[in-house]
Amino acid sequence: MNLIFLGAPGAGKGTQAEIVCEKLGIPALSTGNMLREAVKNATPTGLAAKEYMDRGDLVPDDIVIGILKDRIAKPDAKNGFILDGFPRTVAQAEALDKMGVSIDKVIEIYVPDDVICGRLSGRRVCESCGASYHVDHKPTKSEGVCDSCGGKVVQRVDDKPETVLSRLATYHEKTAPLKDYYQAKGKLKTVVGQDSIADTAKLTLEAIEG
């Protein structure tokens, strides 16, 4: 099963992907996590991507398509995967088609912009494994320490309020058109993101199985 999770930054794609991938036994592949790892390790890709990410802009298509292509070629992705944060432009979706990757379903997680802004200000992530937390809705058991790997949990530079607005504008301009792209192929299902992570997970699994 090859799935795409689509939605604005902070809609809950990563959190839902973590839940669903465990249930389905397929990996969740987040291009955001791959890029942050590359930045941390100061690889050539990371150095090229950093300035775009810090501004809240999209990283150029050729860079992101390259890392995604390498990632889905790995053995753990051969029985399926969830793409979290890719594609983000029509050109990326077309590149996926050209790679011969068939997508079974595209799950849009819809959350209104005003709710997104509140969520992102409280979001925290693990620097080491990328696990996602929220100061109110999903706090770590121990302050600043990742429940999964013990890594340091921090606020992302691009979750600061001034960057969030520009990321939302980018989403509406460049990524939201993908809804029409996949709707036209009969693959789009929309889930309305709920306050509770478990409630959204239930709706997400129903959308995948339905």
Which residue in the block uniquely carries the two structure tokens 């996590």?
A: 33
Q: Which residue is nearest to ligand AMP (CB)?
A: 32
4 vs 203, which CB is nearer to ligand AMP? 4
Give catalytic status of residue 123 as yes or no: yes
Q: Note every long-range contact of 48-52, with CB atoms under 8 Å and residues 24 or more positions apart, other chains counting.
A: none
Give catalytic status of residue 185 as yes or no: no
Give catalytic status of residue 36 as yes or no: no
Give catalytic status of residue 71 as yes or no: no
Contacts of 190 (CB under 8 A, 6+ apart): 107, 108, 110, 207
Q: Note every long-range contact of 176-179, with CB atoms under 8 Å and residues 24 or more positions apart, other chains counting.
A: 177/90, 178/6, 178/87, 178/88, 178/89, 178/90, 178/93, 178/106, 179/6, 179/108
Q: What is the dihedral of CA 90, 77, 79, 69, to 10 degrees?
A: 40
Q: Which of 31, 45, 132, 204 binds ligand AMP (CB under 6 A)?
A: 31
Q: Which of 7, 12, 32, 193 binds ligand AMP (CB under 6 A)?
A: 32
- Residue 13 identity: K
24 vs 32, which CB is nearer to ligand AMP? 32
Sole window of 55-63, 71-79, 146-154, 190-198 interacting with ligand AMP (rule: CB under 6 A): 55-63
Is 6 a binding residue for ligand AMP by CB under 6 A? The answer is no
Give catalytic status of residue 156 as yes or no: yes
Interacting residues with ligand AMP between 128 and 167 (CB under 6 A): 158, 167
Contacts of 114 (CB under 8 A, 6+ apart): none
167 vs 189, which CB is nearer to ligand AMP? 167
2 vs 31, which CB is nearer to ligand AMP? 31
First-to-last CA distance in the chain?
13
55 contacts 66 by C-beta, under 8 angstroms: no
Sole window of 50-58, 112-120, 142-150, 178-186 interacting with ligand AMP (rule: CB under 6 A): 50-58
172 contacts 89 by C-beta, under 8 angstroms: no
Q: What is the binding site for ligand AMP (CB under 6 A)?
A: 9, 31-32, 35, 52-53, 56-59, 64, 85-86, 88, 92, 158, 167
| Residues with catalytic function | 13, 88, 123, 156, 167
